[in-house]
Amino acid sequence: MTISAATTGLNPSPSLQRDAASAAFFDALHAGFLLLKRCVAQGHVCAPDALACPSCAGTEFEDIPAKGTGIVITWGVVHARLGTAGASPAETVIGIVELDEGPWLHSALVGLDPATLRAGTPVKMEIRRSPDSEPMYVFGPNRSA
């Protein structure tokens, strides 16, 4: 298996910083859960960054916690050469996850071998923490599904 950010769990986004719009989202990640939005008008569950409900165009939301589980919809492997001459290219698996609540999220996929990954693979959220950044979610295997 290739040593990579995907398999080592290195922080995929080391420079995340909060602002007023993202404070509640990052506070939830610090507390160990993913925050979704639910439109007040009709109760549709929306992605954390939704500005308007994709189902009814409502713009008033309430926050709800996600279960943190879902399935892989699609994925790709990003190959990037590290700075050291002759080093093996770093390999990061990224994809789209459909949460059990419905929204689709872009995410790093960790601990999943892209050679055997399949659409519909059950995944579970993990939180990556870094001392110089806000935490961020990634998704890894859900062995209890």
Question: What are the residues binding Zn ion (CB under 5 A)?
Answer: 39, 42, 44, 53, 55-56, 58
Alpha helices in the chain (DSSP H): 5-8, 23-31
For the record, the structure tokens of 98 come out as 């459909």
Task: Specify the pairing of strand 69-80 against strand 90-99.
Answer: antiparallel
For the record, the structure tokens of 85 come out as 């001459």
Residue whose CB is less far from Zn ion, 44 or 128: 44
Residue whose CB is less far from Zn ion, 16 or 35: 35
Residue whose CB is less far from Zn ion, 39 or 71: 39
In whole angstroms, the minimum distance from the beta carbon of 29 to Zn ion comes to 24
Residue whose CB is less far from Zn ion, 62 or 113: 62
Q: Do residues 56 and 39 lie in contact, with contact meaning Cβ atoms separated by under 8 Å?
A: yes
In whole angstroms, the minimum distance from the beta carbon of 40 to Zn ion comes to 8
For the record, the structure tokens of 78 come out as 């990003």
Distance of alpha carbon 69 from alpha carbon 75, whole angstroms: 17
Distance of alpha carbon 126 from alpha carbon 119, whole angstroms: 19
In whole angstroms, the minimum distance from the beta carbon of 66 to Zn ion comes to 17
In whole angstroms, the minimum distance from the beta carbon of 21 to Zn ion comes to 19
